[in-house]
């Protein structure tokens, strides 16, 4: 075993004396190529969409959406609280109804 001041095998040397490269160091070139590939791919796709005018169309869509949202009336906090309570009550009533019908149908079909 190679001794490196208490940190065995941290000096890049195996017990037999050969080198011990880390996995990240051996794949660094492949990793850089992968990143380069994706950067070029995204750039080409963006350029193609820009050339076809799709980016401008999307920007126009976002602009029009903001204008339409400014025309909307938004609920006050009290209206939102009231609607939330109403939704929770409706869910509870529907859940109770479903459980009751399920129980009744179970009793009917067990007796058959």
Mean of the per-residue pLDDT values of the chain: 83
**Phi–psi pair at 11, nearest 5 degrees:** -95, 10
pLDDT reading at 8 higher than 60: no
Outline where DSSP puts E strands in 1-112. Answer: none
Question: Residues 97, 100, 103, 109: is their CA dihedral positive or negative?
Answer: negative
For residue range 46-73, what is the model confidence (pLDDT) as tens digits? 999 999 999 999 999 999 999 999 999 9
pLDDT reading at 18 higher than 80: no
Q: What is the b/e burial string over 53-62, where b = at least 16 CB atoms within 10 angstroms of the residue's CB?
A: eeeeeeeeee
Tell me the two tokens of residue 45. 């796709």
Confidence of residue 34 (pLDDT cuts 50, 70, 90): confident
pLDDT reading at 19 higher than 70: no
Could you tell me which residue, 95 or 111, shows the higher pLDDT?
Answer: 95
The answer to whether residues 28 and 42 touch, using CB atoms and an 8 Å cutoff, is no
For residue 112, the model assigns a pLDDT of: 73
Could you tell me which residue, 81 or 1, shows the higher pLDDT?
Answer: 81
For residue 10, the model assigns a pLDDT of: 53
The answer to whether residues 83 and 75 touch, using CB atoms and an 8 Å cutoff, is yes
- The contacts of residue 8 (CB under 8 Å, 6+ apart) are 1, 2
For residue 31, the model assigns a pLDDT of: 76
Rounded Cα distance, 52 and 55, in Å: 8
Rounded Cα distance, 39 and 47, in Å: 12
């Amino acid at each position: 075993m190679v001794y490196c001041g208490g940190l065995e095998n941290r000096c890049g040397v195996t017990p037999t004396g050969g080198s011990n490269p880390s996995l990240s160091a051996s794949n660094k070139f492949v990793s850089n190529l992968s990143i380069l590939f994706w950067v070029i791919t995204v750039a080409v796709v963006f350029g193609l969409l820009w050339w076809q005018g799709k980016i401008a169309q999307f920007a126009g869509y976002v602009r029009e959406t903001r204008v339409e949202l400014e025309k909307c009336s938004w609920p006050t906090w009290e209206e939102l609280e009231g609607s939330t309570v109403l939704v929770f009550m409706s869910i509870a009533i529907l859940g109770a109804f479903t459980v009751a019908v399920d129980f009744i149908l179970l009793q009917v079909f067990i007796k058959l």
